Chain A
Amino acid sequence: MSVLIFVENWDGKFKKLSFELVSYGAKVAEMLNTDAVALSVGQVEANELEKLGRYGAARILSAVNDNINVFDSQAFTSIIAGFAQQENAEVVLLSNNNTGKAIAPRLSVRLKAGLAAGVSKLPLSTNPFNVYKKVYSGNAFSNVIIKTDLKILTLAQNSYEVTETAGKSVVTQVTAEWNSATVKTRVTEVQKQTGKILLTDADVVVSGGRGMKSAENWGPIVELAELLGAATACSRPVSDEGWRPHEEHTGQTGKIIAPNLYFAIGISGATQHLAGVSSSKFIVAINTDKDAPIFSAAQYGIIGDAGKVLPKLVEAVRELKGK
């Protein structure tokens, strides 16, 4: 038996979410009295792989194949399903990010295993296997029982603390099965921004809404974000107006994020917006309307015009950061 954790890499590197995932998987393995096995697919250096051991992976499988040149959900499903069977997995764990969402449902069918997507706490019990997840876009939560022997879980980002253990682990090099002739996805173009903090990875997010009044007023938001090492975001009307790119839209139909700190500036906090940010650990709201719903979700608030408050806030943060 084992808990198999699929740990994605980005250009050969892991990130915080990888370590969250391994920490969570290791704890589930402990509850099941079994081992956590981390599965990495693609070329990753040994010292990077060994990091996974620090978060509780008893063993690390590094599956490589030089022919892998595209993320194809069928091919990756085959690779992970193969190792799940080989490792006699009781639980297969993935992140609830783009990659996890693409593979987990396919794995569920391939392995005839019930899937709970976006779990945000440890299982309440393992027999029955009872997990906790968001429903109604964060307006409620549910306890869900997975009835099959093998379970697939995807973990909501930033929902579980990274926990270091004293454990050591063994890295095993294995081959990832890959048949280029049967892979159906072909990449024709990649558009990637570099050097920017990803919205879904950011610990701090500075977000502006309609209260910013126009695209020209975004300067202090970007500045505040830079000072805090934060990502920038916006509400739906802002991206619909074209003031900011669609990639920045946070909310129910946009990005769903869970940073440690979220600044909602000139955002009233409609239900649909809150659905995308309600998992943030702290919310700071700046708004002219004291009755704006965002203040019910926020821990800290300033009632005032963003145009006036923001420059002062930027100065105060600059002072703190000594820049």
Chain B
Amino acid sequence: MKILVCISNVPDTTTKVKFIDDFKKLDITGIQWVINPWDELSLTRALELKDDTSNNIQSVTVAHVGLVGAEPTIRKALAIGADDAIRVNAEPADAWLVASQLANVLKGESYDLIFCGIESSDFNGSSVGGMLAELLNYPSVSSVSNVKLENGQAVITREIDGGKEIVTVPVPVVAIVQKGIAKEPRIAAMRGIMMARTKLLKVIEPVAVDSLTEVVNYEMPKPRAACKFVDPENPGQLVELLQNEAKII
């Protein structure tokens, strides 16, 4: 069995984003780039599955659509433990373009389990995993919090409103992953960092695909009014404000 983990390169989640060119472009000055948090958890789960030799997993590959600037992030995934990596050399303009490039790479390949994060922390689109599955005509399971392999099938826990559901799906399948899939992201050890330098990072030129959507510009959230403080000895005053001023309880 072979596993593919799709990764996105995003600003560190503590970044205070700023925009330039009349709010048309992200100001990348000083940004630390990281593996999208859900993708990092997916990678961790993929490696856990591989560690369990009874699953008989030959390799864990990471795939990324983006320009050369993303390579340190891809190398980080290799340092964490992925066996090899693919980068499609295209600007990730929208989810459709990214999914189409990934689907093109996967044509003729035989990955059994494909992990995608449920969203990326930059565009919050929740789109690539489902699109990729549809392009490949694979089943997909979304809101996934656990994946196991049993008798060559994927046994997947997914969140439903008010609970969880365990489903069985034949491979190949796309698992679209949310929190819970791994307790904490695996961290690269020194040996992994050394080995990552020599692992295969294959660069593939993109196919011609147009994006279906386009960001016109960005806006900053409206600043909230200053916080009104209430005497800690008298929380009744808070209840009064919530009832009569905010009219919310």
> Could you tell me which A residues sit within 8 Å of B by CB distance?
10, 70-74, 77, 96-98, 101-106, 108-110, 112-118, 130, 133-148, 154, 184-194, 196, 198, 200-201, 204, 228, 240, 246-247, 249, 252-254, 260-261, 270-272, 275, 278, 281-282, 284-285, 295-305, 308-309, 312-313, 316-317, 319-320
Contact = CB atoms under 8 A, between A and B. Distances in A.
Nearest to B183: A240
Nearest to A279: B221
Chain B CB within 10 Å, residue with most, of A112, A240, A285, A301: A301
Given A139-B221, A261-B242, A301 B216 contact: no
Given A261-B248, A320-B243, 12 more contacts: A98-B143, A101-B176, A110-B134, A134-B124, A135-B123, A136-B122, A141-B218, A188-B167, A193-B163, A204-B248, A271-B14, A299-B228
Chain A CB within 10 Å, residue with most, of B13, B96, B126, B130: B130
Contacts, number: 282
B230 A302 contact: yes
Nearest to A318: B239
Given A147-B214, A300-B242, A96 B126 contact: yes
10 cross-chain pairs, A with B, having the tightest CB-CB distances, nearest first:
A105-B130, A304-B232, A114-B212, A192-B163, A102-B142, A109-B134, A313-B235, A316-B236, A189-B166, A106-B134
Contacts of A253: 37-38, 41, 178-179
Interface in B164-223: 164-170, 173, 176, 178-180, 183-184, 211-221
B124 A137 contact: yes
Chain A CB within 10 Å, residue with most, of B37, B159, B224, B242: B242
Interface size class of B (residues with CB under 8 A): 35 or more
B227 A317 contact: no
9 contacts: A96-B126, A97-B161, A98-B143, A109-B99, A136-B11, A191-B164, A200-B161, A253-B38, A282-B248
Interface in B58-93: none
Dominant SS among interface residues on chain B: mixed
A117 to B, nearest CB: 5
Interface string B227-249: 11111111110110111001011
A158 B249 CA distance: 17
B155 A140 contact: no
Interface string B11-49: 101111101000000000000000001100100000000
A106 to B, nearest CB: 4
A289 to B, nearest CB: 13
A144 B134 contact: no
B6 interface: no
B95 interface: yes
B125 interface: yes
Contacts of B248: 204, 260-261, 281-282
Given A249-B179, A285-B227, A302-B235, A136 B130 contact: no
